Structure 1
Amino acid sequence: MGRAETFTVWNNVFPGAALLTAYLGVILYRVVFEQAEARATRGVMGKYLSPAVMTEVLKDPDHLELGGVKRDMTVLFSDIRGFTSVSEKMDPQDLVAFLNEFLTEMTDIVYVQAGVLDKYMGDCIMAFWGAPLVQENHAMLGVRTGYDMVKRLHQLQVIWMARGLPKLNVGVGINSGPMTVGNVGSTMRFDYTVMGDSVNLGSRVEGVNKEYGTNIIVTEYTYAIVKDKWVCRYLDLIAVKGKKEPTAIYEVFHPVGEEPEAALKRPDGFLEGWDEAISLYRAQDFVTAKEHFEALLDLYSDDGPTMVYIERCELMADDPPGEHWDGVFVMTHK
């Protein structure tokens, strides 16, 4: 092949080769850049998203922009009962290891149910459902998480007692409703979190467990969504601290059709008897209501709410609230 022919070949081939090289270079750059961006996203969000949710978020990183959106969601708060007294009896290093073990177990349950870990607040866990992905069954997922937390805790109590560790107990509060969700903070540091009255109510409801000696309380808003799938009982109509409008609250026992966790199981006829006693209480027949509540203790002697209502009936029988009583119990503490 002569020099002219060689030149002609290169003249025809080189532009195409150069174009192909440039194209491959762009593709390579995009792959490297997108992988780096994905790694950064995992680093930021991996602290509070389950692997399943993370996979979906990586398909649309725009979810991570600063700012917020309003959605119907479910929020859960879980807190160890009497943690202060537990902490006073343990060596600091042992206490931290014990707390980390508990938080790991509970967080794993949040992730299994496709939840977002919002934050830890000491021994308290805050999680939510409905963002960054839209989850139509957010209330179901939240209630299942609370139930599985209590169920797993009862299993851990046996293990911990064998190791000479304290017997922990928890209170779980769950609420559903409109919440603002998004990255809140500065451009340098931010948290993916939820805000709003519905979130605050969820936090307040968690603390109400202490009043009634219960494990899982949901608001009327969550109950309205899950009532056909979960066995619950009406607890009370309360006005929580910092909120004017009263809220009906319900205790969660177990999923419909599933064998209940032992500590959340009640004898046959108990819940029907409870409803009768509550009806008498709300009708201001406090003497008869007390008799019905006392009969319930014969069926299940450790029922916290029953004990609360017996004491309340005694007080109200001596000092009736009057004809304009709306049945609302005002919570004076968080």
Structure 2
Amino acid sequence: MEPAIVARGGFVDSYIGDAIMALFEVAPASAVGAAVDMHRQLRPLNAQRVARGLRPIHIGVGLNTGELTLGTIGGPQRIKCGVIGDCVNLASRIESLTKHYGARVIIGDRTLAAVPAGAFVTRELDRVRVVGRLAPVVLHEVLDADEDDVRAAKVACRADWEDGLARYGEGDLDRAGASFRRCVEAVPGDVAAAMRLRRCDRYLTAPRPDPWTDVEDLSEK
């Protein structure tokens, strides 16, 4: 994983358990490219593991763009070089959501805005309010990290996906659910589509927010 980061102009800040914290001083597109490269470089290893009867390794990458403080942090008993900042915390929250949405790479709206249009194939995933933040965050999935057939299938049903998002934003849950159901049928392994469909079904049978909002409040970090 580290070579993919370094090759795109980034550097590893720290290893935290099974996680990597990496920083990119260069354009955000380099960070997105590194995230895609990490998944592509993992494919040969996973092919070998599957051939040996082992489970493939799955990783999720979350990216955010913003200002931070880099330097020596700590007190008399212990100091370390590291980074602090709200954008760092949000990047960590975004990474944790990759499992929730079944997405390989998720980027925040600030990162997407800083990437040249058309550089990557993306789709809006959700609008959420993470724990500890009042302002909602728009999450986007980078489809370039998917296997070719999965990416092609998601792109093919983009019209249904975007219609589902629009209908959901309007509070038209019947039509939103119908659109998301078509996405699930087109891409059976699309965790995000199945989740959006369940959300529509939930609000059709239970009290919905009043006034209606398409922003989902997350209760876990």
The TM-score, its normalising length taken from structure 1, stands at 0.61
**2:165 corresponds to which residue?**
278
What residue number does 1:225 align with? Answer: 114
Residue 217 of structure 1 aligns to a residue whose secondary structure is strand
Alignment partner, residue 140 of structure 2:
250
Report if the CA contact (8 A) 2:29-2:116 is conserved: no
Distance 2:95 2:172 in 1: 30
Cα deviation code 1:138-191 (max 9, x no counterpart)? x11111111111122222211122234321111110000111112334699754
The answer for the alignment partner of 1:181 in structure 2 is 70
Distance 1:247 1:149 in 2: 25
1:262 aligns with 2:148: yes
Q: Name which of 184, 198, 202 aligns with 1:315.
A: 202
Contact 1:234 1:248 in 2 (8 A): yes
Task: Say whether the 8 Å CA contact 1:238–1:246 is kept in structure 2.
Answer: yes
- In the alignment, residue 147 of structure 1 is paired with which amino acid? V
Which runs of at least 4 in structure 1 moved beyond 3 Å after TM superposition?
185-192
Partners of 1:263 and 1:125 in 2: how far apart?
Answer: 28
User: If you compute each CA radius of gyration, which structure gives the higher value, 1 or 2?
Assistant: 1
Cα distance in 1, alignment partners of residues 63 and 91 from structure 2:
5
Give the aligned partner of residue 60 of structure 2. Answer: 171
Aligned residue number for residue 294 of structure 1: 181
1:201 is aligned to 2:86:
no
The separation in 2 between residues aligned to 1:322 and 1:217, in whole angstroms, is 26
- Paired with 2:76 and 2:40, the residues of 1 have a C-alpha distance of 40
Aligned residues: 219
More helix by share: 1
Structure 1 residues 189 and 109, CA gap change in structure 2 (3 angstroms): farther
Contact 1:171 1:209 in 2 (8 A): yes
2:205 aligned with 1:329, yes or no? no
Cα distance in 2 between the residues matched to 1:107 and 1:187 = 31
Cα gap change, 1:191 to 1:140, in 2 (>3 Å): farther
Q: Where in structure 2 are the equivalents of 1:77-156 lying within 5 Å?
A: 106-130=1-25, 135=26, 137=27, 139-156=28-45
SS of corresponding position for 1:287: helix
Of 219, 236, 252, the residue aligned with 2:126 is 236
Q: Structure 1: where are the runs of 5+ without partners?
A: 1-105
Could you state the TM-score of these two structures normalised by the residue count of structure 2? 0.91
Instruction: Report the counterpart of residue 103 of structure 2 in structure 1.
Output: 214
User: Where does the alignment leave 5 or more consecutive residues of structure 2 unmatched?
Assistant: none
Deviation at residue 252 of structure 1 after TM alignment: 0.6
